[in-house]
Amino acid sequence: MLELLQFRHSPYNEKVRWALDIKHVAHRRRSLLPGPHIATVKRLTGHTHTPVLMHDGVALDGSARIIEWLDEHHGGPMLIPSDPAERAEALRIQRWFDDDITPRIRRPVLDALLQQPSYFAANFGDGAPALKRMAYACVVPLAAPVIRKGNGITDAAAIEDGHRAAKEALDFVVARSAATGYLCGNSFSIADVTAASTLAVLARPANSPMASPQPVASAYRALMDRYAKHPGIAWTNAIYAKHRGARSDFDGQGAG
């Protein structure tokens, strides 16, 4: 059976969870904690990022590569369009979010989480035993400088750039979806999965795997409130309501 090594509440990992769930692919999930994950993931892939999909003893990393593999090897709805022009555009949107928009939005998100270490631990330790989350919360302040440096959170300007990326992305999905409700053509595709997974860190769609752990810490609530009235948040919530299906994440056997 396939196994997904993941972070909770991470856009790149949510993309792959979504693909697995929508295709009803049987698999197991193993949630890792950022930081302690390094030894496990580096041994498997030579890198330190998640998600990692294990299949037949082979480790495949990177959300775009994993979803391409899933489209090639599993049935269910195809996420990469077959029409050449739509395929090129959907993959362009995915690359833009993966390589530019998502890393920039991650800066204000992580900054808000790091202001309240217990809530950082609640997000990335979501589903873990309470004692494990408490122990992780004690480590977060010590690791915070490394987390900030590794994610380009160097100063207030870097965080503000993340807010510019958020507005750019929200404005984009509103404009692009005006005609059909989708970002590429007339149907749901990898472009929608990618954009919605990224914007879910701001929208936190209810009854979804990206819903906020409760109660929401004040710094993170302020971040959510900053964008709550933007129509791009409404688009994100609508895409989740129509296409996400799964109401929660899981560890263990299943297909969402």
Those residues with Cβ within 8 angstroms of residue 24's Cβ, 6 or more apart along the chain or in another chain = 76, 255, 256
Domain 2-79+249-254 and domain 84-244, same fold? Reply is no
Q: Hey, what CATH class is 84-244 in?
A: mainly alpha
Q: Which of 65-69, 84-88, 179-183, 250-254 has the lowest mean pLDDT?
A: 250-254
Neighbours of 213 (CB within 10 A): 19
Query: What topology is assigned to 2-79+249-254 in CATH?
Result: Glutaredoxin (3.40.30)
* Domain segments of the chain as ranges: 2-79+249-254, 84-244
Q: Of 192, 26, 223, whose CA–CA distance to 113 is shortest?
A: 223
Residue 149 has pLDDT above 70, yes or no: yes
Residue 50, CB-side half-sphere exposure with 13 Å CA sphere? 28
- Cα separation of 50 and 40, whole Å? 11
Residue 3 has pLDDT above 70, yes or no: yes
Q: Is the dihedral of CA 32, 209, 61, 96 positive or negative?
A: negative
Q: Using one digit for the tens of pLDDT, what is the confidence trace for 20-60? A: 999 999 999 999 999 999 999 999 999 999 999 999 999 99
What is the model's pLDDT at position 256?
Answer: 43
Q: Of 59, 49, 64, 68, whose CA–CA distance to 7 is shortest?
A: 49
- Cα separation of 104 and 186, whole Å? 29
- Cα separation of 52 and 66, whole Å? 8
DSSP secondary structure letters along 121-139: HHHHTTTS-HHHHHHHHHH
Q: How confident is the model at residue 252 (pLDDT cuts 50, 70, 90)?
A: low
Those residues with Cβ within 8 angstroms of residue 101's Cβ, 6 or more apart along the chain or in another chain = 165, 168, 169, 198
Q: Using one digit for the tens of pLDDT, what is the confidence trace for 235-246? A: 999 999 999 988
Q: How confident is the model at residue 249 (pLDDT cuts 50, 70, 90)?
A: confident
- Whole-Å CA distances, 19 to 51, 161, 191, 193, 219: 12, 30, 12, 8, 31
H-helix segments, the chain: 11-22, 37-45, 63-73, 84-96, 102-114, 117-124, 130-150, 156-177, 190-203, 218-227, 231-239
- Name the packing angle between helices 190-203 and 156-177 (round to 10°): 130
> What percentage of residues in the chain have a pLDDT greater than 70?
98
